Chain A
Amino acid sequence: MQYLKKYPKLFQWLFLLIVFFALCFAIEVPETYKFIRGQAEFVKDPNQSVYFFLGKEVRYYAFDVFWRLPPLLGWLPIWINDSLFFLMNEWMPMEFWNEDTQEFKTRPLLLQISRNLTAFMTFLIELIREILLGGLETIVAFTSWDFIDAYPWLELPGLPWTIVAAGAAILSYKLSGKGLALFAGLTMIYISIFGQWKPSMQTLSFILVAAPLSFIFGLGLGIAAYKSKRVEKALYPILLVMQTMPQYAVLVPALVLFGVGDHAAVIITMVVAVPPMILLTILGLRAIPPEVIEAGRMSGCTNWQLMLKVLIPTARRDILIGVNQVIMVCFSMAVISAFIGAKGLGFNLLLALNQLNIGLALEAGLCISLIAILLDKMSLAWANKQTDYFGNLTFYQRNKNTIFFAASVLIGIVLAYIGTFIFKGSFNYLFEVPHNKGISTADFWNKGVDWIFDTFFIYIKAFNTWLIVDVLQPMRALYLRMPAVATLVLAVGAGYLIGGIRSALVVAALTLFIALSPWWDRALVTLYMATFGVVVSCLIGFTVGTLCFQNKKSAAFMLGVCDIFQTFPSFVYLIPVMMLFGITDTSVLIAVIVYATIPATRYTIEGLRSVPVGLHEAATMSGVNKFQRLTKIEFPLAFPHMMLGLNQTIVFALFMVIIGAFIGTEDLGQYILKALSDKNGAGIGLTLGICVAFIGLIFDNLIRTWVGKRKKHLGID
């Protein structure tokens, strides 16, 4: 009784667990139950039950409701699909003027909007692409095919790679200095001599359209939400879901709405990249001290001036993190959108992975990562750039960079011209190194992989077998053994204990959605993989973070490493693990672990760092040793922030688990991937994506609520 009074929470949790396990043991596994493998589900089977809702037929295997809830939401994907189809093809037909055929044509409104949007995006991408690589689409867009036939010299020739490399280096020098210039130059040279020029420029043109558009939309919507509570309230739920929505899942509806190609990829990248930009814009604007705003007002700013000259620059730090996120997402999507036909490095990467040509994949992946890091650093330097009013500069000093660029353009053209003589009859390497004609280390890597396989095969296989047979399979079986009702009780109970009725209701709604969808089993598999990844990631991340924190330099170094790793597009992580472990669940899990360890480490260091110096001194004066200080002072205070790290770790892990479907897993991701090639996949893909997002949101809600309470309790902001 005494204990009960002293630790009421502890006993409540204990009680919850007892109920959970009691339910697990009380509810038997139905004899007919089996985990449904991929193909079997669309087979019509007399054992299936059927119901009709809104005119849609839903077929499913019925079990005891305590074991698995019936898929009462099974009609949703079909319904979404039909609605999309209706909107695109039948809704609001209107007369539109057709340029090509010079007559009016009847088309549904949405289709027309989609086509216009598509045309606009295509034009933008082609414009940049043709400046970099040459082509005639842009000229044609302004004139006609006949015109270009008459004046063939109007075709854009494209820039020799030497000029682009010099341009990138000069721009970097202007923005930041020698270091970045060197990095930019080397990156471009690497790309060129390794024969990745064309795909790299294709990817770059995609990014140069997608990133600025995402930035502008994100900033604009963020400002709108900052100014109007109503806009914020409308945006907030969408933002939340999008934060945890796997990127695969949004591809499928995009396919239906915008078709296949770079333009669809840009639009879908915006859908993914805009939400974090909005959130960070709001965050930054909210954090501005009110006196700074008043100072702006008293300086006589109009609303526009206040926004452009006071608010946005003052919120620069957070907005920059937003830009960083946008760039990260864009590169991530540059790979993933190769699934819907975006050209460039991503496509090559996927192709190489598909052919198990690890060496080629590695080279393409390295290119993407290098360009990502370069653009990230350049955008950062640009935002931090200062003007100098007092330098009495000569004409040469003021226009130094322009002169250098003009000179490099000239030299580049001359070199390319000379190249036509040197490489007569073959490829002009001074103009562009064609794809697969450059140096390639692919053979070396492939041989390396073969060597690793030959040499360590026994060990890798033994490890693999052990992990799968002794750890993963039992864990998966345990997760699948959970009756739906028990899971619900556990989730809702945890919600109630952490955040009261409100949290309990939110968690219940999210869990029920998944439970009533046709993919509960799949969700459990996703959950088990994510759990495994998160647990290991947290163990590694918290340990590494704590160790690095002991020394200022190593902490800073580790944060830098996290920064760089975070810039890599998520798909790149699959390359090395496939190198080592081939196509197995182990590969996916290791990729998950590597990827998710980043936030775990980062937040641990940041959390420990945020412990006030005064407390350190107080602790030292109380005579604690290093270990005591860590356990008694630093951990308890840093814990809330570390829990936010856990939250991020979960999101990252879920992302990677879903991406891992590319290697082949039996979770929700597998179905999302399958929906991509399904004509009627839009509804399924979207619903699956929402399921994954909801798994993330359940944990997000619980952790955030807990952290909020804990921080209040500890009196830290």
Chain B
Amino acid sequence: MSETVIKCESVYKIFGQNAKKMLEEANGNVDAKTFQEKGCIVGVNNASFEVAKGEMLVVMGLSGSGKSTLLRCISRLTDATGGKIFIEGQDLLELNNKELIELRRSKMGMVFQSFALLPHKTVVENIAFPLQIKGTNTVDSINRAMEMVKLVGLDGRENYFPRELSGGQQQRVGIARSLAVEPDIWFLDEPFSALDPLIRKEMQDEFLRLQEKLQKTIMFITHDFDEALKLADRIAIMKDGIIEQLDTPANIVLNPATEYVRKFTEEVPREKVLIIEDVMDASSKDNLGDLKVSKDEIIENVAEKILTQEKLVGVVDSNNNIVGSIKPSKIIDTVFGGRKNGS
């Protein structure tokens, strides 16, 4: 792993009066129910994790699971009740107001579910806004904003007002605005949830394209498990403020840690999520047939080829070295097996 950019150590966020005192008394053993009886609501419960540079961590959870609260703790839009958060080694909670503003101006960008565009500013003014806040002069900030307009494909609409744009276009503006200051860390709070399914898919692809180009450190919030699988390097699944499991998509699908996580994985078409490496047998490299497949292939793409074979199929890495093998029946196992109730 390369250097850590975001690091959380038992972060708690509890809403309500006396939250801090109650957290101290609970001694690290926070139970949402007992807290609720005392009039406090637990938003985030003992969250610890790290995000590496250039990594995309997707936080998945249903509404009320505390995922947005967690994001707001890390961006310090709310102050965490307990725990420690480090951004590039800086203790976030120790920063004073001035340092925090400086950090946001230089390092952070955020995209919001409801776009949160300023209604009185045009597309280009919205995008230039963070730059102008920083003190960049008008000409430079507008020029830079125009570059961003091109990047997100809104050329020709730079003088439109947010209300004149479709949802997808508005979110492109939101994305462009969050990227205008070239932040290292990119927070996205359910950016595509308010969009139509088709537009959503288009935006996800666009987002992946951008990320390939920009290589930001990303925390991405969603309630859509498919979206999480599609985008994530690692997924954190949250329920009632607790991170139930934090792992790669493949590991979550193959080894759900809790019953709650398993429910999500049940309906997932594994052949679309898993790659050969996830299901191959690394120990047996002998008695291979003629067919070789790359370990990075998604199962769906090679399943047909493998299933026509009778012998073991060899798995190779990018240098064409054999790293393992796969039995044709394993494909059938993976796709159809392992699901309870035979759905």
Contact = CB atoms under 8 A, between A and B. Distances in A.
B114 A289 contact: yes
B104 A297 contact: yes
Contact of B159 (A301, A305, A314, A390): A390
Interface string A379-395: 00000001011100000
Contacts of B197: none
A31 interface: no
B66 interface: no
A14 interface: no
B105 interface: yes
B144 interface: no
Nearest to A303: B97
Interface string B119-148: 111101000011001100010001000000
Contacts of B178: 298
Interface string A437-472: 000000000000000000000000000000000000
A419 B28 CA distance: 90
Contacts of B77: 294, 297-298
B104 A298 contact: yes
Contacts of A299: 104-105, 129-130, 133, 177
Given A291-B112, A294-B112, A300 B120 contact: no
A313 to B, nearest CB: 4
Nearest to B98: A302
A310 B116 CA distance: 11
Contact of A291 (B97, B113, B120, B124): B113
A294 B119 CA distance: 14
Interface string A296-323: 1111111001000110011010000000
A310 B159 contact: no
A292 interface: yes
Contact of A301 (B102, B133, B177, B181): B133
Interface in A644-695: none
B54 interface: no
Contact of A300 (B105, B113, B116, B118): B105
Contacts of A18: none
A292 B142 contact: no
A314 B75 CA distance: 23
A418 interface: no
Taking each of A297, A313, A316, which has the highest tally of chain B beta carbons within 10 Å of its own beta carbon?
Answer: A297
Given A294-B110, A299-B104, A301-B101, A314 B134 contact: no
Contacts of B118: 292, 295-296, 310, 313-314
B120 A313 contact: yes
Contacts of B174: 295
Contact of B109 (A291, A294, A298, A301): A298
B51 interface: no
Contacts of A316: 120
Contact of A298 (B110, B121, B158): B110
A635 to B, nearest CB: 31
A296 B101 CA distance: 11
Contacts of A294: 72, 77, 110, 112, 116
Nearest to A383: B120
Interface in B130-178: 130, 133-134, 138, 142, 158-159, 174, 177-178
A298 B75 contact: yes
Majority DSSP secondary structure for residues of A touching B: helix
B108 interface: yes
A507 B115 CA distance: 45
B101 A298 contact: no
B174 to A, nearest CB: 8
A295 B110 contact: yes
Contact of B134 (A300, A309, A313): A300
Contacts of B116: 289, 291-292, 294-295
A297 B101 CA distance: 8
A388 B133 CA distance: 19
Contacts of B181: 300
Taking each of B120, B138, B187, which has the highest tally of chain A beta carbons within 10 Å of its own beta carbon?
Answer: B120
A315 to B, nearest CB: 10
Contacts of B75: 298
Interface string A154-190: 0000000000000000000000000000000000000
Contacts of A310: 118
Interface in A308-340: 309-310, 313-314, 316
Contacts of A292: 116-118
Contacts of B108: 298
A543 B109 CA distance: 54
Taking each of A291, A295, A299, A316, which has the highest tally of chain B beta carbons within 10 Å of its own beta carbon?
Answer: A299
Nearest to B112: A291
Given A291-B114, A390-B159, A302 B101 contact: yes
A286 to B, nearest CB: 16
A388 B158 CA distance: 11
A388 B181 CA distance: 23
Contacts of A298: 75, 77, 104, 108-110, 178, 187
Contacts of B133: 299-301, 305, 309
A300 B112 contact: no
Contacts of A313: 118-121
B110 to A, nearest CB: 4
Nearest to B72: A294
B297 to A, nearest CB: 39
B105 A389 contact: no
B101 A389 contact: no
A389 B124 contact: yes
A594 to B, nearest CB: 37
A386 B118 CA distance: 14
Nearest to A316: B120
A291 B134 CA distance: 20
A21 to B, nearest CB: 49
A319 to B, nearest CB: 11
Nearest to A297: B77
Taking each of A291, A295, A296, A314, which has the highest tally of chain B beta carbons within 10 Å of its own beta carbon?
Answer: A295
A389 B102 contact: no
Contacts of B105: 299-300
A709 B119 CA distance: 32
A309 B132 CA distance: 10
Given A291-B113, A294-B116, A386-B122, A300 B104 contact: yes
Nearest to A388: B159
Contacts of B112: 291, 294-295
Contacts of B104: 297-300
A332 to B, nearest CB: 30
A344 to B, nearest CB: 35
Interface string A36-63: 0000000000000000000000000000
A388 B178 CA distance: 23
A292 B72 CA distance: 14
Nearest to A305: B133
Contacts of B134: 300
Nearest to B114: A291
Contacts of B109: 298
B321 to A, nearest CB: 46
A578 B255 CA distance: 88
25 contacts: A291-B114, A292-B117, A294-B77, A294-B110, A295-B110, A295-B116, A295-B117, A296-B118, A298-B75, A298-B108, A298-B109, A299-B129, A299-B130, A299-B177, A300-B102, A301-B101, A305-B133, A309-B133, A310-B118, A313-B119, A313-B120, A314-B118, A314-B119, A314-B120, A389-B142
Interface of A: 289, 291-292, 294-302, 305, 309-310, 313-314, 316, 386, 388-390
Given A291-B113, A294-B110, A296-B118, 19 more contacts: A289-B116, A292-B116, A294-B77, A295-B116, A295-B118, A295-B177, A298-B104, A298-B109, A299-B105, A300-B101, A300-B105, A301-B101, A302-B101, A309-B133, A310-B118, A314-B120, A386-B122, A388-B159, A390-B159
Minimum-distance CB pairs A-B, first 5? A300-B105, A299-B130, A295-B116, A291-B116, A298-B110
